[in-house]
Amino acid sequence: MTDKVVILGGGPGGYEAALVAAQLGADVTVVDSDGLGGSAVVTDCVPSKTLIATSELMSEMDGAAELGVNFHDHEGDAATGISVDLARVNARVKRLAADQSADIAHRLDKEGVRVVTGRGHLDGPSRVVVGDDTLEADAILVATGAAPRTLSSAEPDGERILTWEQVYDLTELPTELVVVGSGVTGAEFASAYLALGVPVTLVSSRDRVLPGEDADAAEVLEEVLTRRGMTVLSKSRMESVTRDGDVVTVRLTDGRSVQASHCILALGSVPKTGGIGLEESGVELGDGGFVTVDRVSRTTARGVYAAGDCTGVLMLASVAAMQGRIAMWHFLGDAVQPLDLKQVSSNVFTAPEIATVGCSQQAVDAGDIVADVVMLPLDGNARAKMQNVQDGFVKLMCRPGTGIVVGGVVVGPRASELIHPVSIAVSQRLTADQLAHAFTVYPSMSGSIAEAARRLHRV
């Protein structure tokens, strides 16, 4: 008898789980209301990184003169600046997001996965209701995602007070921008719009940008952003955001206020778990309404699994996808390894990028793990000099005695790509010597990873 799997949500946690379940012979139905790909594809990761791709090009062009490249207008005079057509940028953003969503739909159809458009809710742990339809299930995967957190004192209007999902409707660059929130999302948008030529003020309730990231990396980023003209208001908490015509006012709890043409709210996320019958079906919700799961994605209701942002485990598309795959491997009896967050690599797409994997410097400093640490600035790397890269570093951590690599940080251009060899080392328990002995291209940024590993060698 074929197992029936019903998945609520078509984001990475949902569609990747569907592909695994179909591969293993299950009868799979995905119930989706937000567009296949979820927020990762439709409103978050793909759109934001497409916007950031344009901002990266702007940053590179800004430093072109240092590399001997000059621009001239049609009459031969020196060009004094470059500009961005935001309407064209955002049109491209939406087109790429739609194309990616369509690709996912095609793949699911090819693999025999049924897609039902609508909002589903649980009627017990083995039944999902979508409108007038009732879907019986041997297993249910909840992958409903999360939405931007808003406050009554700072209600977005979709025009000048915006969540990160609403910025792609802009057709003209803001004349001035305030970003409230200095976590990953806030830092990425602040960095991107700064590179696009917009004066940016970043409001941070903490003492530094990216309080949850490596402190050395955050220090480099904040120094670069302020050097490029950003105003960072640290230890400043937002009280309210209001709009009067074309002027947005952000009031702070200390009495100060900041005015701009636009404001982006990056206040975190809330799970989409309300009103879909979870608790009534025996699914426990934890703090903030996130679904409680174990390391193989099981909830407290037998046969009900959960994956992705609705679990609050680690809000990354890669983690959502792995949670979804693990859920199906577990339910359908395939080989499975529990989720190990110590092996997750992540990236902050600022300029410079910040990539991390494994244990953190904070854990080492707190004595939670004993590790030797080497930090190697990129400004000594030959390729970095050629490309005029002046900021960034490679940091590696390994266990004393065994030399096993347990963590790493890369700050620099394309850090999201450079972290991969470190991620492999962490997941495969390679030693610093093994990492150092692998050939790298000369000259290359990755050469700094091998050099850092060599410096961890102990006789």
Instruction: Characterize 79-104 residue by residue with b for buried, 16 or more Cβ atoms within 10 angstroms of its Cβ, and e for exposed.
Output: eeeeebebeebbebbeebbeebbeeb
Give the helix/strand (H/E) hosting 23: helix 12-23
CA distance 144 to 304: 13
Give the residue-averaged pLDDT of 7-21.
98
* Structural tokens at position 400: 């004393």
Could you tell me the pLDDT band of residue 107, with boundaries at 50, 70 and 90? very high
CA distance 71 to 82: 9
Residue 219 and residue 208 in contact, taking contact as beta carbons nearer than 8 Å: yes
Residue 190 and residue 179 in contact, taking contact as beta carbons nearer than 8 Å: yes
pLDDT per position as a tens digit, 385-436: 999 999 999 999 999 999 999 999 999 999 999 999 999 999 999 999 999 9
Instruction: Give me the residue label for tokens 């592909």.
Output: 19
Q: Which amino acid is at 59?
A: S
Instruction: Give me the residue label for tokens 């491997």.
Output: 329
Residue 90 and residue 169 in contact, taking contact as beta carbons nearer than 8 Å: yes
Q: What pLDDT sits at residue 372? A: 97
Contacts of 140 (CB under 8 A, 6+ apart): 5, 6, 7, 8, 122, 125, 126, 128, 303, 304, 305
Q: What pLDDT sits at residue 71? A: 84
Is the pLDDT at 365 greater than 90, yes or no?
A: yes
How large is the greatest C-alpha to C-alpha distance in the chain, in angstroms? 75
Is the pLDDT at 459 greater than 90, yes or no?
A: no
327, 312, 319: which is closest to 147 by C-alpha?
312
Q: What pLDDT sits at residue 5? A: 98
Is the pLDDT at 110 greater than 70, yes or no?
A: yes
Handedness of CA 312, 314, 317, 323 (dihedral sign): negative
Give strand pairing partners of 177. Answer: 200, 262
Contacts of 172 (CB under 8 A, 6+ apart): 86, 87
437, 427, 415: which is closest to 348 by C-alpha?
415
CA distance 423 to 426: 5
State what percent of residues in the chain have pLDDT above 70: 100
Q: What pLDDT sits at residue 274? A: 96
Residue 373 and residue 406 in contact, taking contact as beta carbons nearer than 8 Å: no
Give the residue-averaged pLDDT of 297-319.
97
CA distance 69 to 36: 43
Give the helix/strand (H/E) hosting 5: strand 4-8
Give strand pairing partners of 431. Answer: 404
pLDDT per position as a tens digit, 140-170: 999 999 999 999 999 999 999 999 999 999 9
Instruction: Give me the residue label for tokens 């099981």.
Output: 298
Give Cα 425 to chain centroid, integer Å. Answer: 22
Give strand pairing partners of 154. Answer: 151
Could you tell me the pLDDT band of residue 73, with boundaries at 50, 70 and 90? confident
Could you tell me the pLDDT band of residue 106, with boundaries at 50, 70 and 90? very high
391, 392, 429: which is closest to 407 by C-alpha?
429
Is the pLDDT at 66 greater than 90, yes or no?
A: no
Q: What pLDDT sits at residue 76? A: 75
